[in-house]
Structure 1
């Protein structure tokens, strides 16, 4: 474990039998996240698995028409996100791929996506003390596997935030390498009035962990590059949200007062159970 910058900590891990096993106990990882810090787990997930997830996503999207209707949260779809979120007024420009019906995927795609998403599922369960599986749950929170492509030439995701529960801890897995497949763009956060940028700190296979209610954003990719939806160059990440799409959305007002209001993981768990 090493602090590489203020509020930015890297933790080594081993990828063993399809599971991410950190060098410190899961409870300690969660404590660091809730202090709060941005924790980068060096997962050790093999490059071929990460590449496989990108290639499967690209092949699937090539044969699947772009969606333009409102999200159903029950199907597999991909969209060019190009709008401003109504509640938080966060502008967006990225290519979104969501796999809410993993069982409905063709086997050749599912077999390349699950080796990336299943370790994330198991790791999140270990961090939060849950035993959740993939699949739609009526009226309840469930996993929403998602792969996002931020093309070169100006893609971004404006400053926004989420309710802390039920997700508790956000996960962003780097599928490709900064400085090789892309050279600009990264996720930034605000902790105790301090800007924490992860650009240049996250390598292929690294998993960023963060308190889910921290204000955060994805910085624009360089405008020096020509933008194209069809060019695979750019940042590719896998995330695994766990939420009820019909539940209470994030408040329109940004969370404030971290210096006095931040709580430990133990206190948060006690309040959630009450």
Structure 2
């Protein structure tokens, strides 16, 4: 299992205009491989986290990300969230510090890969991203976005990249990943490879349009074998499985 979290180096952090985070033991997901540049305001809920992960605004004060991006539940003022800009060096970007982290109870590196980061102050003027509460939208074509490398092992990106990937059935994904947890995880990608999330995209959202043509989050970037390799799709936390637990945790955090 290769987590899609980036061990941020100083040069990459400088490029992105963010402070470097602590080195991570695993090597989880970096940027969208095979993507194109997102337009300013296209995905206003997107968040870049200073430890080298992505996230999405769950509420004006909470960021939904991956459990493997954080170390534990508790007070944490060390994370900087960058929002409101596709260009991480933009003068109009918003930066807010964290004040608390909630990691999924029972997370041990297998499944349950979600966490909430509470911001010190609410963010106004940016859309939040609703999460799927059932499996209705766990099929079809999904959108993935991120600021990480555009090639496996490459450098982080200054500008937000986007791409689309198709749903991969559990039975097919299990052929590539025998340790897949179907109840906790959902797969997406092309059999031919070429388009995928990668190291540093960890924690970012995978989403699609709902019946009202609004964005809804169905996955959280979690892990995979390399990036965009043939027959190795990306593995994402299946958000609908944990929607109730996420909502309960959010309420406890005042968000």
TM-score (norm 1): 0.24
Choose between structure 1 and 2: higher helix proportion.
1
Q: Relative contact order (C-alpha < 8 Å, sep 6+): which is higher? A: 2
